Structure 1
Amino acid sequence: METTVEEKYQSPQIPNNLILTPEAQSFLLSSGKWASFLGILGFIFCGLFLLFALSVGTIMTKIAELQPGNPAAMMMAGMGGGLSVVYILLDLLYFFFALYLYQFAVKIKAAINFNDNFHLTAGLGKLKSFFKLWGIVTIVILALYAIGIICFIAFAASMASAMHG
């Protein structure tokens, strides 16, 4: 069967008459309050973690100074700068989680309090961004786990063959 130009797929029309019941509005408002709390707490922890990230190099150096003959302590002192960079990048990632949650909270509370569809749409967009980021990070972590497992199996196989050969 041939497809003609008139038979092209068209996406179904979504009606614009969605109505939020008072119960749904209450759920969204409560979610907004919790998201606000978690977002602010996230910002606070980002600040504390940033302070730790900036001082981890100094901490590692001081540990090495306390144990001058310990080669492991000397190696830790050398890794302090790299560890600071990794921690700052992780902190930046965590900041975006907190930011998206907080933006969702602000917009969703405004939408419910002022009966405003624009803020409702923007708030749900921030919630979508939060879950999209969460999904991407989860995929990356799962991929790292898979690579780690493959590397462990390859290492174990090479050790087993070295023992027998």
Structure 2
Amino acid sequence: MINNPITQLEQLTLTSASKNFLRETARWAKFLAILGFIFIGLMVVFAIFATTIFDLAEKMQPGIPGDLGLIMAAVYLVLAIIYFFPVYYLLQFSNKMKKALATKDDDVLAKSFEMLKSHYKFIGVFTIITISLYILVIIVSVMGAI
């Protein structure tokens, strides 16, 4: 058998230190995913009560627009839906990594890394979109000021 670098890479093994690092990473990922789901729940609760809160605020402070509560409810629901996906991918990574390390199943290990890739890909694309929107808002603001 020819021993070239490509063949060597196909036989990557995890040392006990690597397994411990992955196990600890999976624990932290699960912790962050649980916190993420809690915050998603809080966003949904706020969205449900946003119209009531802003109706009361409008009565106390007459300058507040009447439909602001509905707008805020929609914004928080959209943000909760967007935030769900990276949190879900992170939880799936954690669960699959723990299972892969316990069962020594290469397919589950690969699936766990696929979930981690999906998490970071989502965060990366979302970050690019957010930065693009900030740049667009700055350009529009500067053009409006001229």
TM-score for both structures, normalised by structure 2: 0.90
Distance 2:104 2:114 in 1: 17
- Alignment RMSD, CA only? 1.5
Structure 1, gaps ≥5 residues long: 1-11, 158-165
Partner of 1:118: 107
**Of 74, 84, 88, the match for 1:99:** 88
Q: Distance in 1 between matches of 2:35 and 2:76?
A: 18
For 1:95 and 1:20, the matched residues in 2 are separated by 31
Q: Distance in 2 between matches of 1:97 and 1:15?
A: 29
Q: Percent identity?
A: 35
SS state at 2:10 partner:
coil
- CA deviations 1:2-59 (Å, max 9, x no partner) are xxxxxxxxxx778431111111111111000000111111111111111011111110
Give runs of aligned pairs for residues 69-84 of structure 1, distance below 5 A: 70=62, 72-73=63-64, 75=65, 77-84=66-73
Query: 2:33 matched to which residue of 1?
Result: 39
Letter in 2 for 1:154: M
Alignment partner, residue 9 of structure 1: none
SS of the aligned residue for 1:19 comes to coil
CA distance in 2, matches of 1:56, 1:111: 43
1:13 & 1:55 partners in 2: Cα distance? Answer: 59
- In the alignment, is residue 142 of structure 1 matched against residue 92 of structure 2? no
Total equivalences in the alignment? 141
Q: Compute the displacement of 1:124 (Å).
A: 0.3
The answer on 1:127 being equivalent to 2:116 is yes
Corresponding residue number in structure 1 for 2:144: 155
Residue in structure 2 matched with residue 19 of structure 1 by the alignment: 13
Runs of 5+ in structure 2 lacking a partner? 1-5
| Residue of structure 1 in register with 2:3 after alignment | none
Give the drift of 1:149.
1.3
**TM value normalised by structure 1:** 0.80
Secondary structure at the counterpart of residue 34 of structure 1: helix
